[in-house]
A and B are shown apart, each in its own frame.
Chain A
Amino acid sequence: MIDFTYENGALTARLYGEIDHHIAPRLRGEIDMKCETLRPAVLILDFKAVSFMDSSGIGLIMGRYRCITLLGGRMEVVNIPPTLTKIFTLSGIQSLGVMK
């Protein structure tokens, strides 16, 4: 579901499996807890191992963007698999300037 590494002020959250409304609240809780304790300069969401995502995942990303911005950090979204490019394009997340 999620793995974390923290190095030089960068918190990387590697997500894996399917991201939907069923799992999103747990991911949100874990990421926010880490962010609040570590106060990272940058939160990196790594989608390499995500096999499925629907609009609940978009809500999750937008919410984490707000959260880390409020904490004074920034966010990066990396390794978007080809099967997810369509939903990312539709989401408007590119306009946040977080996609690497």
Chain B
Amino acid sequence: MNLTNHMKLSFPSISTNEGFSRAAICAFILPLNPTVAEVADVKTAVSEAVTNAIVHAYPTEQGTVYIDAKITDDRRVIIRIRDTGVGIADVEQAMEPLFTTSSDERAGLGFAVMQSFSDKVRVRSAVGRGTTVTLEKIIHSAYDEG
């Protein structure tokens, strides 16, 4: 599988950038002619990962969120969302549905959404160093290209 497109973004961890990152990823995958449902899936999964970086990674001061997105020639979209924030001590526990460390009306469903809206989710994290979430999804075309 070869790379057909690649983009990188970085932005401060402020909540206005949640909508910006969704719009950017949507524009990036559009040349693949995704279905409406596929666009919604990718936007939602990215929104969860970016929101986590904004809400959880930098609790005391503003930090930077990095997105690296690739499209390969087998119609695979690979999106990496990275922060250099507090990290997650127990990733397995964090990924359990309904688990949350926040008291601020959070459902604890972000990772569950990422998992059901992507084909593959990988999480790497180190306490004090930050977290990288990698989302992968194959985009079937809205047109039947056979």
CA distance A60 to B106 in the complex (A): 8
Residues of A within 8 A of B (CB): 18, 20-22, 24, 28, 52, 54-56, 58-60, 62-63, 83, 86-87, 90-91
A83's partner among B36, B110, B113 (CB-CB below 8 A) is: B36
Judge if B40 is at the interface, Cβ distance under 8 Å.
yes
Partner of A28, one of B43, B48, B105: B105
Q: Tell me the number of A-to-B contacts counted with CB atoms below 8 Å.
A: 63
Select one of A18, A55, A60, A83 contacting B48, CB under 8 A: A55
Q: Which residues does chain B contribute within 8 Å of A52, judged by CB atoms?
A: 22, 40, 43-44, 47
CA distance A45 to B51 in the complex (A): 24
Q: Is the CB of A87 within 8 A of B44?
A: yes
Asked if A22 contacts B112 (CB within 8 A), the reply is no
Q: A54-B51, A56-B51 are in contact. Are A21 and B44 (CB under 8 A)?
A: no
Write the nearest CB–CB distance from B88 to chain A, whole angstroms: 17
Known: A54-B44, A54-B48, A87-B113. A22 touches B105 (CB 8 A): no
- B105-A54 in contact (CB<8A): no
Min CB distance A98 to B, Å, is 15
CA of A24 to CA of B18, assembled, Å: 12
The main secondary structure of chain A at its interface with chain B is helix
Binding site for A on B (CB under 8 A): 15-16, 18-19, 22, 36-37, 40-41, 43-44, 47-48, 51, 54-55, 105-107, 109-110, 112-113, 116-117
Instruction: Determine whether the beta carbon of B116 is less than 8 Å from that of A86.
Output: yes
Q: How far is the CB of B15 from chain A (nearest CB, A)?
A: 4
Given known pairs A52-B43, A56-B51, the reply for A22 and B107 (CB within 8 Å) is no
* Candidates A20, A28, A59; contact of B107 at CB < 8 Å: A59
A21 with B113: CB separation less than 8 A: no
- Among residues of B, the one whose C-beta sits closest to the C-beta of A64 is B105
CB of A91 within 8 A of CB of B109, answer yes
State the Cβ distance, A90 to closest chain B Cβ, in Å: 6
Q: How far is the CB of A22 from chain B (nearest CB, A)?
A: 4
What is the chain A residue whose CB lies nearest that of B22? Answer: A52
Q: Kindly name the residue among A20, A28, A91 whose own CB sees the greatest number of chain B CB atoms within 10 A.
A: A20
